Amino acid sequence: MNKLLIIDGFTIFGLNVKFYGILMSLAFIVGVLIVSKLAKQKGFDSSIAFDLVLIAFPLAIIGARLNYVLFTPNNNWTFLSILQVWNGGLMIYGGVLFAAIGIAVYCKIKKYSIFKVFDMIAPALILGQAIGRWGNFFNQEAYGSLVTNTGLQWFPFSVYIESPHFTTEASNQVLNHYGTSLIDGAWFNATFFYESIWCLGGFFLLYWLNKKTDQIGLVAATYFVYYGLERFFVEMLRTDSLYLGSIKVSVLISGILILTGLAYLIYIFIKHKKSHSNQNGYLIKVKNDGLKTEVDVNNNTKE
């Protein structure tokens, strides 16, 4: 079994630099470049990308952190520990929610179409998630269930986690299998990697959709369904999930995302179908007796 040597950062001029922070910053820089490119295609000034990142970046960090703190009250949080985001402990859904609210307010002020802007942001967001998940790798977090089959104890299917980074659930799994939790480390499902690859594929899908369709809201709705599906199932493998009662919070939110996205995609489909049926110049009406009446633009009718 080859164990990866994992370090979480380095020191330069006495300053500790975490790979987690570097990757988060890289994700936002790449996001700005992508939004700038898509902004031109959609008729916006490319400078909108900088406006959006100035709004989204701080709100996303605040939202993601508060979301995590809210569902981990047993951590005995202090104001200082809450600020130490470089140590991990962010929930993506809280970050997306806070950033979305801020961007919606911005769009309202600027009189931009909110869903058109969300369509433009979606590819950048999901690529940022793909990059950011590697921060979990360096922090040895966001991993899945214990892998006991030695034939599967290799990266990237699984990842070796050192015992100081065991969650309570991970420790219990190790104890149940090995009879003790006092070991150097163990192999777990590399769920952060699964999500990173899924999100990378999602970026290409959403970027392609942005270029192929002018249907407002379609890209954002596709993001809801695409990301929601992956997170719904992968979250079930995670050992660090936050709970609302007996329900995993991210599983619940993912389900809501999937249903919301599907509902809007169905709405778009029905709207498109109705529009397509009227392309021949006739509006189709159904009388009480079940007979169809086609009314053209000249008010001529035929049954």
pLDDT of amino acid 276: 66
SS3 of 182, please? coil
Model's pTM, two decimal places?
0.84
User: Looking at per-residue confidence, does 267 or 17 come out higher?
Assistant: 267
pLDDT of amino acid 278: 63
pLDDT of amino acid 28: 85
Segment among 59-73, 217-231, 278-292 with least mean pLDDT: 278-292
pLDDT of amino acid 284: 44
Q: Which two tokens stand for residue 43?
A: 């008729």
pLDDT exceeds 80 at position 95: yes
Kindly state the average pLDDT of the residues 72-93: 82
Residues near 136 by beta carbon (within 8 Å), at least 6 away in sequence: 20, 88, 142, 143, 192
SS3 of 176, please? helix
pLDDT exceeds 90 at position 190: yes
pLDDT one-digit tens code per residue, 22-46? 998 899 899 999 999 999 888 888 7
% of the chain with per-residue pLDDT over 90: 60
pLDDT one-digit tens code per residue, 52-61? 988 988 998 8
Residues near 170 by beta carbon (within 8 Å), at least 6 away in sequence: 143, 146, 161, 186, 188, 239, 240
pLDDT band of residue 277 (cuts 50, 70, 90) is low
Kindly state the average pLDDT of the residues 276-300: 51
Kindly state the average pLDDT of the residues 98-102: 94
pLDDT band of residue 117 (cuts 50, 70, 90) is very high
pLDDT of amino acid 287: 46
pLDDT one-digit tens code per residue, 215-248? 999 999 999 999 999 999 999 999 999 888 899 9
pLDDT exceeds 80 at position 92: yes
Question: Can you say how many angstroms the Cα of residue 283 is from the centroid of all Cα atoms in its chain?
Answer: 41
Q: Which two tokens stand for residue 198?
A: 């899924």
Mean pLDDT across the chain, nearest whole number? 87
Residue 172 burial (CB < 10 Å; 0-12/13-18/19+)?
A: middle
pLDDT of amino acid 79: 87
